[in-house]
Structure 1
Amino acid sequence: MIRHANADDLDTIAAVHLAARATYYRGHVPEEEFAGPRELARTRAAWSGAVARGQVLCAERDGEIAGIAAYGRVDGVMTLTQLHVRPDRWRRGVGAELHAACVAAWRAEGVTTARLEVFARNERAQAFYTTHGWTPDTATPRSGTHLVLRLTVDPTTE
C-alpha cells in the first residue's frame, strides 16, 4: 500500500533513509556524513519539511514502512529528491511501486519531465532508474558526486 506520510512516521522515515544510504555511502564518504546522531537529527528535520508539504510517500508492507519517496519542484523542475527502500525489503517491488506512485502524481499535475541525482557509485540504484526509463541528463550530466538523470513523463500512460 502507498500512502502519504504524516508526522508520526518521521522516526521510521529517518531510520529507513539512514539504513539505505549506509549501504552505498559506506567506504566512499566519511561515516559522519550518513550516520550518527547529528546526521539523524538533520535527516529527520529535512524529512519533516517534506512531510509537511505533502511531498512524501510511504510504501507499507505487513503494517510497516518498507520504503519512502520524496519529490517536489527544485528550480521549477519536478525532482525525485529521495527514494529509499529498507535493505531487507529490496527486490520485492517496493521501489517500483513507490516510483509508479510518484510518476502517477506527476502525471496528475501535468508534469512532462522530472530529474533526480544518484550517487555515482550507487550502481544498484542506477540500474533501477534505467529500468524505469531514466536517462542521463546530457545538459548537466553530473552534480558533484552524483549523476543527473531525466525522465520523460508520458501523459497518456496510466
Structure 2
Amino acid sequence: MIRTVLPVEAEAVAGLMTRARSTYYPDGVPDADADWPARWRQAIERPDGQVLCAVRDARLTGIASFRTPRGAPAETVKLFQFHVDPDHWRAGVGTALHAACLEQWRADGKRTAVLEVHAGNHRAQAFYARQGWVRDPETPSGDDLHLNLRLSVTGE
C-alpha cells in the first residue's frame, strides 16, 4: 500500500532513511548526528510538499519526499528523498512507490521531475534509469558527489 506519511511516523522514516543511506556512504552517513526525526516531521508537515510511503505488513518499507523547489517553475517537482529499506530491495517497493509519485505529479500538473543522486550509488542510478530518468543537460552537477537527473512526467 502507498499512502501519505503521518507526522507520528517521522522517527520510523528517519530510521529507514539511515538504513538505506548507510549502504552507499562507506564512510558513514553525512549529518548522522542531526535530528532526523525532527527534519522529517518538518518535511511531512510542509504545506507545499508531500511525503509518501510504501507499507508492507504494517511496516514502512519505502519513502519519497517531493515538492516544487524554491525558484523553480511551478510545473517542476523535485524528488528530494527516495529510499527503500534494504531488507525490501528487489521486491517491487521502489517501482510501486515511484509509480505513485508519478501519479501524484501528473495530478498536480507537473511536467518535469528532477533529482540529485549520489555519484557512488550505482544501485539507485540503475533504478532511476529503468524508470526513465536521464542526466539533466540543463543542470550539470555542482560537485563530484552527485549527478542531476531529469524525468518527463508527461512522457514527452
TM-score by length of 2: 0.90
Distance 1:93 1:81 in 2: 20
Correspondence 1:136 to 2:131: no
Where is the helix percentage greater, Structure 1 or Structure 2?
Answer: 1
Distance 1:155 1:126 in 2: 19
Partner of 2:82: 83
In the alignment, which residue of structure 2 is the partner of 1:72? 67
- What is the distance in 2 between the residues matched to 1:120 and 1:149? 11
Cα distance in 2 for residues equivalent to 1:129 and 1:111 = 18
Write the deviation string for residues 79-105 of structure 1: whole angstroms up to 9, x where unpaired.
Answer: 000110110000001111111111110
CA contact (8 A) 2:21 2:29 kept: no
**TM-score, structure 1 normalization:** 0.88
Alignment counterpart, residue 52 of structure 1, candidates 45, 50, 65: 45
What residue in structure 2 maps to residue 17 of structure 1?
A: 17
Aligned pairs, number: 149
Question: For structure 1, which runs of at least 5 residues remain unmatched after alignment?
Answer: none
Cα distance in 2 for partners of 1:82, 1:32 equals 14
The residue that corresponds to 1:33 in the other structure is: 30
The runs of at least 4 aligned residues of structure 1 exceeding 2 Å deviation read none
For residues 3 and 37 of structure 2, what CA distance do their matches in structure 1 show?
Answer: 19
Rounded to whole Å, the distance in 2 between the matches of 1:143 and 1:127 is 21
Between 1:71-80 and 1:106-115, the stretch displaced more is 71-80
Backbone CA RMSD of aligned residues: 1.6
Work out the percentage of aligned pairs sharing the same amino acid: 46
| Matched letter for residue 112 of structure 2 | T
Q: 2 CA distance for matches of 1:72 and 1:32? A: 23
